[in-house]
Amino acid sequence: QIQSFFALTYGAIVTEIISDSQTVQEVNDRLESMGYNIGIRLIDEYHAKSAVVVGSGQPCMTLKETADAIAKIGFKMFLGIACDVASFAPDGRSFSLYLYDNPLTTFVELPPPEDCEGNMDLSQMQFSNIYCGVIRGALEQVNLRVNCSFVRDVLKGDEVNEIRVELKEVLADGAGEDYQEE
């Protein structure tokens, strides 16, 4: 029941960020880092709840399982939307997430390029970039360093929202050498 309030709050956030930023890239980056902060906390809740949903609570052993977990469990659990996984790269290190409904953009349209002034071309803004940050933050807590970016965006005229997730590195467990006991 709070879908509208959710969308309106996000709109207020984006408005605030736009007024504080000088370039569109800055806006995108701030949205992504905001998502990162959310993601590192969201993963705990995901683990707590998905153990009930999935039943076994087994960790994902492959990137494909991770992708399915994000799409089928994660997006469903937090946003109630359907999300598909596709376009696995041949080396298995990247995939795409397709979002059909985007609760953040219920009331949103990007301004056309001719209406933008200065160096803020808001028609190029990644409005929902917060998702990329959430995915990056959440996966980093499970030792997967990824890059996420929007490839296709409904606000820009495409039919679906497509987020490309690329695995950069599998991080090692632990707090690093400085904290190792002698």
Partner 1 sequence: MNPSSQYPTRRIEPPHHNHQSSPPRVQSIYDRPLGGNGGTRPGPAVSLSAFALLYSELVQYHQNKSSSMNDLEGNLERCGMEVGTKVLELVSFRERSYKRETRLMNILHHLSITIWRYLFGRSADSLERSMDNDDEYMIYDDRAVTSSFCNVRSVDAFVSGIIAGVLNASGFGARVTAHSVSAGGDEG
The footprint of partner 1 (CB under 8 A) covers 1-6, 8-13, 15-17, 20, 34, 37-38, 41-42, 45, 77-81, 101, 103, 106-109, 130, 156-157
Closest contact distance (angstroms) between CB of 5 and partner 1 is 5
Q: Which residues of 33-49 are buried (b: 16+ CB within 10 A; e: fewer)?
A: ebbbebbbebbeebeee
Instruction: Enumerate residues 6+ apart whose C-beta is below 8 A from 32.
Output: 129, 130, 132, 133, 136
Pick 104 or 167: Cβ nearer partner 1: 104
Closest contact distance (angstroms) between CB of 154 and partner 1 is 8
Pick 77 or 142: Cβ nearer partner 1: 77
Whether 72 contacts 83, CB under 8 Å: yes
Closest contact distance (angstroms) between CB of 94 and partner 1 is 25
Amino acid identity of residue 116, one-letter, is C
Whether 154 contacts 161, CB under 8 Å: yes
What gap in Å lies between CA 83 and CA 159, rounded to an integer? Answer: 14
Q: Give the residue from 36, 59, 37 showing the smallest Cα distance to 142.
A: 59
Closest contact distance (angstroms) between CB of 103 and partner 1 is 6
Pick 45 or 166: Cβ nearer partner 1: 45
Pick 95 or 127: Cβ nearer partner 1: 127
Please tell me the chain's helix, strand, coil percentages from 3-state DSSP, rounded to the nearest 5. Answer: 50, 15, 35
Pick 106 or 141: Cβ nearer partner 1: 106
**Could you identify the residue written with the tokens 């000088």?**
22
Closest contact distance (angstroms) between CB of 54 and partner 1 is 17
Pick 59 or 80: Cβ nearer partner 1: 80
Q: What 3-state class would DSSP assign to 11?
A: helix
Closest contact distance (angstroms) between CB of 11 and partner 1 is 7
